[in-house]
Amino acid sequence: MTGGQERVDGWDKVTGRARYAGDHAVGRAVTAVPVRSTVARGRIVRVDDGEALRQAGVLAVITPDNAPRLAEVHDAELMLFQNHRIAYRGQFVAAVVATSRQAATAAARLVRVAYEQSCHEVRLSADHHRLYEPEHLNEGRPAGTSSGDFAGAFDAAPVRVDETYRTPAVCNNPLETHATCASWDNGRLTLIDSTQGPNTVQNVLAALFRLRTDHVRVICEHVGGAFGAKGAPRANTVLAAMAALVVGRPVTCSFTRRDMFAVAGHRSPTIQRVRLGAHPDGRLIALAHDAVAHTSTLRRFAEQTAAAARHMYAAPHRATSHRLAALDVPSPSWMRAPGYCPGMFALESAMDELAVRTGVDPVDLRLRNDTSVHPETGQLFSSRNLAACLRSGARLFAWAGRNPAPRSGRRGHWLVGTGVAASTYTADVAPSDAAVSVSVDGRYSVSIAAVDVGTGARTMLRSVAARELGVPASAVEIRIGDSCLPRAVVAGGSMGTSSWSWAVIAACRDLRRRVRERGGVVPVTGLTARARTDAEVAALADRARFSFGAQFAEVRVDADTMEIRVPRLLGVFAVGKVLAPALARSQFVGAMTMGLSMALCEEAVTDPCSGDYAQHELATYHIATHADVQDVQASWIEEEEHHLGPSGAKGLGEIGIVGTAAAIANAVYHATGVRVRDLPVRPASLLRAHRCAEPSPHDRGDRGNAAEQP
Amino acid sequence: MNATGNTSAAVRLRVNGVVRELRLDNRTTLLDALREALRLTGTKKGCDHGQCGACTVLVDGRRVYSCLLLAVALPDSDVTTVEGAVRDGRLRILQRAFLDHDALQCGYCTPGQLCSALGLLIELAAEGGDGTAPAGAVRERMSGNLCRCGAYTHIVAAVTAASKTIAEGTP
Ligand code: FES
Ligand code: FES
């Protein structure tokens, strides 16, 4: 139950009144539908738009030969129809604008594109000839780090784990596909867009179309999920704006579900080698994490897969590295907890393997390797409560007394097992602005270009402002989702809450001071206070800033079919101050559910022949549904955080997906004795391993320490 | 699509109790008819392929994926969408339960989840039983409605609670 904290926009959402980008376009815009490349690498030789143009309702066909010229921006995925090069299958190569979506879709099939095709490479491997070490990772992180003498210490370590883990490409697939409605008026562009960052879209679109920033307005009232996929503009936004320019009327463009797999971004597949060298009591001596991922030929996206290994556990000798291969694939992009999510699958699986090899309880093992300073840099943590999460989780989950032997938990037809993994994510903050006004009749209004992508940002900001102003929440109106409002950081990177609430709190405090200065009297014209947090954010103390958590999973595996069920998932997190408990719980539970989905269902595999994903719809790309999800519980510990702004809150939208897959895979090992290092965990992998391990199909059960099968 | 012959047709639908006369391109799905012709944008499109459930509405009391039906093939049907709550007290109770259990995040799957839940309660009532929806039945029978935000546990709690309220006859 929500404990009385109902979402501000909840009633609009349950009655269908909440309007998303695609809803705004209805009745006012014509439609642009893209034509997609059918080759994965090559050149466009010719586009024949004759037949398409003859269809009723068709207004224009945009091709590389007639498209308006765009100014160059950093993300080459946005340079639509600016040249004839094909970088991946599914890339937009032309578009039809028509008076109805039916007409545009039908005409798009009639646009004939001739290609000159080259050989493509779409499959990542650990020895791919295109692999290189990027100059740096996203957000300027170093590609490699090392301290001590890893190689020497690892070789000499009494207990060693040296394993390779793989995660597949996965797609964000928010339920609302990306949608935009664009209109031009006197050289000014207005976009109703499904985005996490109206200011980001505003800046990028202004650059592309050579406009003054304040001549672009981006509105995103409600967004139907994003998970990183809407963190920066995508082709739909550019196409809508371009098409509206061409036909001189408002144009809408929405991705189809199929488009989501190609042009909306995805989490890169990874191949990760983790090496752990330890004392017999489990204390780490040496730790190395080497990650391989892909990017596209259009854009270098260098994800921080091994970043968590840099701060999770103490070890005197350590190293991390990243290598990338630029393949003929769509550009990967952010997906919930980029880097940390796939990286912690590998690291936390390896920690479980170390627990098995040393015989140390997996919770204890993590406690023994906890650290009070950043093990690479020596920095203090702004706050670090991994140990408290592990202890609290172990208590709530009733972990104590667990028999560590694999296959020791058989109950009737089910092989039952439990597993644990740690969670972590960055806890950042970025400068934002905010304005707070009070009217003479005591109504407050908070303005900030923040976005609610389902996190409950509106509700959270309202309760923060009401608390700060000392008024009931019902007296506060929240205005977000519009680039015209005071500038704000994107709703991503788990920094929305800390960053926005800082600016809002500062503005509220300033407003109260002003009202006090006037003897508590608000003038008839009202009063407004504005805040800008750049200076304060820049002046933050030097600390390592992360959130932490621990996740526990129980799995049941059918002894015959190896079907995997997850009857119980529990997460305990340390995320600073929790500002809105009901919303926080939904975020944690939702992210853990997505983690369960990652563990058991999701993968997008590139077909080496066509260069396309074998999965590009929800019938073949499975995501967890009602029947897959049973008891998912989340809680948190009280944590004091003094180095992240006045709210004391760390972001919490992403950490819930970090560690879930490892906890489940570790529980599967405990249940079956089969170590799966290759996501998703499939019944087929378990069956294969069991067939290898078992001399007779009838000899099941009391196998005890069944052999590990890779 | 053949460019000759009749490419559009007249159809009469009763939507949330109101009779609507429409002339539609034959290719128009019920989902597009609701959203684009009738401007009832509460019903959402998540895939347009019958794979996500965002477009779930009730046709003659049965839950359907509106993206899989052609509107012109449904003459005189009775359609209930999320906007039809005023007519159906049970939908109202479900909406209230969704808010109480925070059974939504982005809200994009929510109209479909609500209509699917209403359809499920109608099915359970028709099958006999006391009218309440046990959690296991909700999980199994609402699996055609995806929620990428992962609100499942809260949705199940909301539907179960709403079914009890409805069964007790206390609005
Ligand atoms: S839109 Fe109809 S099932 Fe997805
Ligand atoms: S609430 Fe976002 S998809 Fe269900």
B68 and B133 inside one domain: no
Choosing from A135, A536, A654, A694, which is the catalytic residue?
A654
Cβ contact, residue pair B51, A257, below 8 Å: yes
Nearest CB partner across the interface for B82, out of A16, A625, A631: A16
Handedness of CA A575, A579, A582, A584 (dihedral sign): negative
Q: Is residue A311 part of a domain?
A: yes
Q: Is residue B3 part of a domain?
A: no
A97 and A146 inside one domain: no
Q: Is residue A67 part of a domain?
A: yes
Q: Which domain holds residue B140?
A: 84-169
Cβ contact, residue pair B145, A625, below 8 Å: yes
pLDDT band at A699 (very low <50, low <70, confident <90, very high): very low
Q: What is the CATH number of the domain that holds B149?
A: 1.10.150.120
Report the C-alpha gap between A96 and B155 in whole angstroms.
Answer: 40
A513 and A461 inside one domain: yes
B59 and B125 inside one domain: no
Report the C-alpha gap between A436 and A466 in whole angstroms.
Answer: 11
B15 and B79 inside one domain: yes
Cβ contact, residue pair B107, A18, below 8 Å: yes
A583 and A597 inside one domain: yes
Q: What is the CATH number of the domain that holds A179?
A: 3.30.365.10
A234 and A256 inside one domain: yes
Residues 6+ apart with CB under 8 A from A7: A13, A456, A458, A459, A583, B99, B102, B104
B68 and B141 inside one domain: no
What is the number of domains present in chain A?
Answer: 4
Find residue B20's DSSP bridge partners. B13
Tally Cβ neighbours within 10 Å of residue A262: 26
Domain end marker among B33, B52, B83: B83
H-helix segments, A421-495 = 457-469
B109 and B90 inside one domain: yes
Cβ contact, residue pair A174, B49, below 8 Å: no
pLDDT band at A625 (very low <50, low <70, confident <90, very high): very high
B131 and B112 inside one domain: yes
Domain end marker among A232, A263, A294: A263
B161 and B89 inside one domain: yes
B103 and B74 inside one domain: no
Comparing C-alpha atoms, which of A344, A302, A342 is closest to residue A324?
Answer: A302
Question: B167 is written with which tokens?
Answer: 């069964």
Domain end marker among A352, A377, A402: A377
B92 and B67 inside one domain: no
**Residue pLDDT, tens place only, A291-342:** 999 999 999 999 999 999 999 999 999 999 999 999 999 999 999 999 999 9
CB A541 within 8 A of CB A395: no
Question: B142 is written with which tokens?
Answer: 């609402």
Q: Is residue B61 part of a domain?
A: yes
Amino acid letter, B70: L
pLDDT for res A475: 97
State the ligand closest to the CA atom of B44: 1
Measured between CB atoms, does B90 come within 8 Å of chain A?
no
Nearest CB partner across the interface for B1, out of A7, A106, A632: A106
Any idea of the CA torsion for A602, A607, A610, A611, to the nearest 10 degrees? 70
Q: Is residue A663 part of a domain?
A: yes
Q: Which residues of A touch B54 (CB under 8 A)?
A: 175
A357 and A399 inside one domain: no
Q: Is residue B2 part of a domain?
A: no
A696: pLDDT strictly greater than 70: no
Q: Is residue A709 part of a domain?
A: no
A317 and A372 inside one domain: yes
Distance B68 CA to ligand 1 centre (A): 8
CB A476 within 8 A of CB A462: yes
Nearest CB partner across the interface for A175, out of B46, B102, B140: B46
A438 and A569 inside one domain: no
pTM of the model: 0.96
pLDDT band at A694 (very low <50, low <70, confident <90, very high): low
Report the C-alpha gap between A653 and A491 in whole angstroms.
Answer: 10
Q: Which domain holds residue A438?
A: 430-538
Q: Is residue B32 part of a domain?
A: yes
Domain end marker among A314, A343, A377: A377
* Residue-by-residue DSSP string for A306-338: TSGGGTSS--SEEEEEEEEEEESSPPP---SST
Burial class of residue B36 in the structure, from the number of CB atoms within 10 Å of its CB (0-12 exposed, 13-18 middle, 19+ buried): buried
What is the number of domains present in chain B?
Answer: 2
Residues with CB under 6 A from ligand 2: A 175, 225, 454; B 104-110, 147-149, 151
B6: pLDDT strictly greater than 90: no
Q: What is the CATH number of the domain that holds B61?
A: 3.10.20.30
Nearest CB partner across the interface for A223, out of B52, B99, B106: B106
**Residue pLDDT, tens place only, A141-154:** 999 999 999 999 99
A436 and A500 inside one domain: yes
A654 belongs to the catalytic site: yes
A530 and A414 inside one domain: no
A708: pLDDT strictly greater than 70: no
**Which residue among B110, B114, B145, B152 is best mutated to probe the pocket of ligand 2, counting the most ligand atoms within 8 A of its Cβ?**
B110
Cβ contact, residue pair B106, A454, below 8 Å: yes
Burial class of residue A513 in the structure, from the number of CB atoms within 10 Å of its CB (0-12 exposed, 13-18 middle, 19+ buried): exposed
B1: pLDDT strictly greater than 70: no
**Average of pLDDT values for A621-643?**
97
Q: Is residue A608 part of a domain?
A: no
Residues 6+ apart with CB under 8 A from A275: A150, A154, A160, A161, A162, A286, A287, A288, A289
**Residue pLDDT, tens place only, A384-422:** 999 999 999 999 999 999 999 999 999 999 999 999 999
What number of H helices and E strands is found in chain A? 17, 27
Q: Count of A–B CB contacts within 8 Å?
A: 193
A44 and A154 inside one domain: no
Q: Is residue A609 part of a domain?
A: no
Report the C-alpha gap between A154 and B91 in whole angstroms.
Answer: 62
B170: pLDDT strictly greater than 90: no
Q: Is residue A230 part of a domain?
A: yes
Domain end marker among B83, B117, B147: B83
pLDDT band at A64 (very low <50, low <70, confident <90, very high): very high
Q: Is residue B12 part of a domain?
A: yes
pLDDT band at A2 (very low <50, low <70, confident <90, very high): confident
In this structure, what DSSP letter does residue B35 have? I
CA angle A218, A221, A223 (to 5 degrees): 100
Cβ contact, residue pair B36, A27, below 8 Å: yes
- Give A282 to chain B, closest Cα distance, Å: 36
Tally Cβ neighbours within 10 Å of residue A367: 16
- What are the φ and ψ backbone dihedral angles of B37, each rounded to 5 degrees? -80, -40
pLDDT for res B113: 98
Q: Is residue B1 part of a domain?
A: no
A694 and A591 inside one domain: yes
B165 and B111 inside one domain: yes
B91 and B114 inside one domain: yes
**Residue pLDDT, tens place only, A451-492:** 999 999 999 999 999 999 999 999 999 999 999 999 999 999
- Find, in chain B, the residue whose alpha carbon is nearest to that of A592: B150
Helix A457-469 and helix A496-517, axial crossing angle in degrees, nearest 10: 30
pLDDT for res B88: 87
Cβ contact, residue pair B3, A16, below 8 Å: no
- Find, in chain B, the residue whose alpha carbon is nearest to that of A256: B47
Measured between CB atoms, does B52 come within 8 Å of chain A?
yes
Q: Which of A17-31, A53-67, A318-332, A696-710 has the lowest mean pLDDT?
A: A696-710
A539: pLDDT strictly greater than 50: yes
Measured between CB atoms, does B8 come within 8 Å of chain A?
no
Report the C-alpha gap between A335 and A345 in whole angstroms.
Answer: 15
A254 and A291 inside one domain: no
Report the C-alpha gap between A268 and A228 in whole angstroms.
Answer: 13
pLDDT band at B169 (very low <50, low <70, confident <90, very high): confident
B33 and B49 inside one domain: yes
Domain end marker among B83, B112, B135: B83
Identify the helix (H) or strand (E) that includes residue A552.
strand A546-558
Distance A14 CA to ligand 2 centre (A): 11
Q: Is residue A218 part of a domain?
A: yes
pLDDT band at B2 (very low <50, low <70, confident <90, very high): very low
* ipTM of predicted assembly, 2 dp: 0.96
Helix B89-100 and helix B110-126, axial crossing angle in degrees, nearest 10: 120
Question: A574 is written with which tokens?
Answer: 């340390």
**Which residue among B44, B56, B101, B105 is best mutated to probe the pocket of ligand 2, counting the most ligand atoms within 8 A of its Cβ?**
B105
pLDDT for res A698: 43
Matching residue, tokens 């560690």: A659
Is residue A561 classed as helix, strand or coil in its secondary structure? coil
